[in-house]
Amino acid sequence: KALGHFSNAEPKLKDEKRFDALTNLYFNMAFTNTRLNQKNEACSFYDKASAAYLENIRLSPSAQPIGNSSGSVPELIQMNKKQIGCK
């Protein structure tokens, strides 16, 4: 059910060029797919999260997205991809 809500939000965020929110959305979709044991989908969403993050930084160079205690957003994405065996 959560993935349906996430999917419904995606087009609006894309239209509004809300790459900060898309980064978070894709990360959450990846995390949810990981929990559902859908590795390929999770890896794809981690890649989308990374691309959205880079676009956000490109459009807003002064943006300072906050990761967590494990590291920056890109580091967190890479760590999670490695944990589930993404290429």
Mean pLDDT of all residues in 36-53: 97
Q: Please determine, for residue 6, whether its predicted confidence score (pLDDT) is greater than 90.
A: no
d(CA 81, CA 72): 14
Q: Please determine, for residue 68, whether its predicted confidence score (pLDDT) is greater than 80.
A: no
State residue 69's pLDDT score.
Answer: 72
Burial (0-12, 13-18, 19+ Cβ within 10 Å), 5: exposed
Q: Alpha-carbon Rg of the chain, whole angstroms? A: 13
